[in-house]
Structure 1
Amino acid sequence: MQRRTFHGALCASVLVHAGLARADDRWPGKPVKVVLSQPAGSGPDTVVRLLGDGLAKTLGQAFVIENRPGGQNVIGAQAVARAPADGYTLYFATAAALVTNSYLFKTLPYDPLKDFAPVSFVADSPFGIFVRADSPIASMQDLVARSQREPGKLSIANEGPRTFGGMIARLINARSKAQANLVAYSSVGVALQDIMGGHADAVVADLASSSQFARQGRLRLLAVTTAQRVAGWEQVPTVAEYLPGVELSGWMAMVAPAGTPTSVVTRLNAEISKLLGDPALRERILAVGPIASAGGSPKDLETFLHEEHRRLGKIAGEIGLLPE
């Protein structure tokens, strides 16, 4: 009886796994939903729509972008973490959702490392330090020197101490021993308008939302926050060239709910890599601000995420960022 029961269970298990394998082979057999924690029209929104259009053409199914902003990315991330792991719900994540939130909240309704299956790195999203085009501040050296000479008078606008822009501003203050006045704004758009209106001295903002003003000659880009100089802005130095170790950049990656079939993850990774290897698509993404990154396996992304957690943990300690 026990042998017959085991044999029956084994046959059932084989049939189930065979059925799953056939389902994986047919993926995608229906439209795929891609959740994004940012609003329509944002930099990440533009990038994921370009990517979604390309995937739809190569895979023969619609990739439907669902914007679920709010809650500092928690709403969108939690929705995907709880979604079926069948390959039909994906998450176009940013550094905030998968790394930074761990150092901002005492508790999260999702685990950034355990609840998602890494699929593919997509793009870096550099930040920059901007001043008005007619500002007497011509470099990072000028900015730091002035803030040291006149403590508390030079103002650096950002989106708040618990955002990427705010963390960068605090790290610059900490590393340079400067005493700039860090002014929090409700959004980067409001901060940029205040800079151009002469109500603040500098602003930390992502290139995706602000580079257009520099190209129009309304702002001057003093430095970028990536480890290397940014494509398209090669004449602009990095902050790290003046303050070694100050490297903090946003990024975007595609992940899926943990447990998503490996065959689906592998195929999706391959298709995204092909798309990001297309110079035309890379140029369209660069025009928005982010820098597309072709190649890299799901394992590479997993390693990167663990390294980012280690690095951000050190930075959070240095600038006194405490979870709430």
Structure 2
Amino acid sequence: MTEYRTTRRNLLKLGAVAMASSPLLARAAWPDRPIRLIVPSAAGGSPDNICRILTSELMKALGQPFVIDNKPGASGNIGMQEIVRAAPDGYTLGYGNVGTLAINKSLFSKLPYDPEKQLVPVALLGYVQNALVVRNDLGVKNVAELIALAKSRPGKLSMASPGNGTTGHLGGELFKSMTGTFMTHVPYRGSPQAIQDLMGGQVDLMFDNLSSIAPHIKNGRIKALGVSGRARSPLFPEVPTIGEFVKGYETTAWGGIVAPAGTPRDVVLRLNGEINKVLGSAAVNERYAAISFETTIGSPDRLFDRALRETRMWTEVVKRAGVQVD
């Protein structure tokens, strides 16, 4: 009997060692409960819409519900701080974009989180172009005419944006520096009010995500002069790129999924694989195309590779424009 107990005890020890050495065996199968996705912006905005389309499909693939938790404020810093403080167990994810992963590094004198040290990339989801739009009665037909008008009236044209440090704001600052024009920046607390004032004639022009400005272009209440990407938008093939008039001009707003540092690698890779499957679906891409979001698939590292590349570009833009929000 003593020999039997000793053998059983040894087998139990060996089993415990095996479980501890295998991350797949040491914890319950993931996922076995709802997953929280923190979106560092308000409900109804472009990031929120992008994430809701994604999670509606992921919950089918993973068999667990996703809970979208909107945490707007401080150019996304409030939500990002909550993501980095979360347990790295695969049950809290976040949405990171060009603002929170690249622009904010130079926009704030002291960023309250470190993307490279406190987060891990899961997937780059895709891109949305900005559109350069003007009020209908401004009297310009294309980007070249706008540049000529701005040069003839330095400081007189008002350029609205969804807020300081957004791609709408900094894309406009890049445009000004590349064209040698001076227009007065008028920041708003988000796109809706800025768009309303543009349609009402209180401001002259703005740069804004196609996902929020597209309906107003379609109904003819404002005029699109150009889009900010390398190629024309499939949604508005008749609208030229700004780069067709200003050589080298290109900006996009992009975003992806991140997780707290320390999240198990097998969970990250599982998520990346499932997200790629979702983004490869024709039906899902139709839904994204309706909000002017162009998807991409690939490895997790593509998200931070993009962030690091654009950090350098936006740092120069922020420096030239003298923008700081804290």
Match of 2:20 among 13, 16, 27: 16
Match of 1:255 among 253, 258, 279: 258
Quick check: 2:107–2:318 contact (8 Å CA) kept in 1?
no
Residue 135 of structure 2 is aligned to residue 132 of structure 1: yes
Residue 305 of structure 2 is aligned to residue 300 of structure 1: no
Larger Rg: 2
The 1-side partners of 2:221 and 2:291 are apart by 17
Q: Which residue of 1 aligns with 2:34?
A: 31
The 2-side partners of 1:305 and 1:170 are apart by 20
The 2-side partners of 1:323 and 1:74 are apart by 12
Give the C-alpha shift of residue 242 in structure 1.
Answer: 1.6
Quick check: 2:161–2:194 contact (8 Å CA) kept in 1?
yes
Q: Which residue of 1 aligns with 2:323?
A: 321
The 2-side partners of 1:86 and 1:142 are apart by 54
More deviation, 171-180/236-245:
236-245
Q: Which residue of 2 aligns with 1:4?
A: none
Q: Which residue of 2 aligns with 1:3?
A: none
Quick check: 1:161–1:170 contact (8 Å CA) kept in 2?
no
Give 1:232's aligned amino acid. Answer: L
Q: TM-score, normalised by structure 2?
A: 0.90
Give the C-alpha shift of residue 258 in structure 1.
Answer: 1.0
The 2-side partners of 1:255 and 1:136 are apart by 44
Listed as ranges, the matches of 1:51-62 within 5 Å are: 51-62=54-65
C-alpha spacing 1:299/1:225, structure 2 compared with 1 (3 Å): same
- Identity among equivalent pairs (%): 35
The 2-side partners of 1:25 and 1:61 are apart by 14
Give the C-alpha shift of residue 100 in structure 1.
Answer: 1.0
Q: Which residue of 2 aligns with 1:234?
A: 237
Quick check: 2:85–2:260 contact (8 Å CA) kept in 1?
yes
Quick check: 1:102–1:112 contact (8 Å CA) kept in 2?
no
Q: TM-score, normalised by structure 1?
A: 0.91
Secondary structure at the aligned position of 1:233 is classed as coil
More deviation, 225-234/104-113:
225-234
Secondary structure at the aligned position of 2:150 is classed as helix
Quick check: 2:98–2:253 contact (8 Å CA) kept in 1?
yes
The 2-side partners of 1:309 and 1:173 are apart by 19
Q: Which residue of 1 aligns with 2:92?
A: 89
Listed as ranges, the matches of 1:45-84 within 5 Å are: 45-84=48-87
Residue 192 of structure 2 is aligned to residue 189 of structure 1: yes
Quick check: 1:49–1:65 contact (8 Å CA) kept in 2?
yes
Give 1:301's aligned amino acid. Answer: L
C-alpha spacing 1:191/1:15, structure 2 compared with 1 (3 Å): same
Q: Which residue of 1 aligns with 2:5?
A: none
Runs of 5+ unmatched residues, structure 2: 1-12
Give 2:165's aligned amino acid. Answer: R
1:192-241 Cα offsets, whole Å, 9 max, x none, are: 11111112211111111111001111111111111222222222112222
Listed as ranges, the matches of 1:133-148 within 5 Å are: 133-148=136-151
Listed as ranges, the matches of 1:153-172 within 5 Å are: 153-172=156-175
Give the C-alpha shift of residue 181 in structure 1.
Answer: 2.2
Give 1:40's aligned amino acid. Answer: A
Quick check: 1:156–1:200 contact (8 Å CA) kept in 2?
yes
More deviation, 261-270/20-29:
20-29
Match of 1:115 among 103, 115, 118: 118
Residue 270 of structure 2 is aligned to residue 267 of structure 1: yes
Give 2:223's aligned amino acid. Answer: R
Listed as ranges, the matches of 1:203-222 within 5 Å are: 203-222=206-225
Quick check: 2:19–2:26 contact (8 Å CA) kept in 1?
no
Quick check: 1:69–1:76 contact (8 Å CA) kept in 2?
yes
Quick check: 1:103–1:323 contact (8 Å CA) kept in 2?
no
Q: Which residue of 1 aligns with 2:7?
A: none
Give the C-alpha shift of residue 274 in structure 1.
Answer: 0.7
1:273-297 Cα offsets, whole Å, 9 max, x none, are: 111111111111121232222x210
Q: Which residue of 2 aligns with 1:5?
A: none
C-alpha spacing 1:44/1:323, structure 2 compared with 1 (3 Å): closer
C-alpha spacing 1:274/1:23, structure 2 compared with 1 (3 Å): farther
1:113-144 Cα offsets, whole Å, 9 max, x none, are: 22111111112121111113444211111111
Match of 1:281 among 281, 284, 308: 284
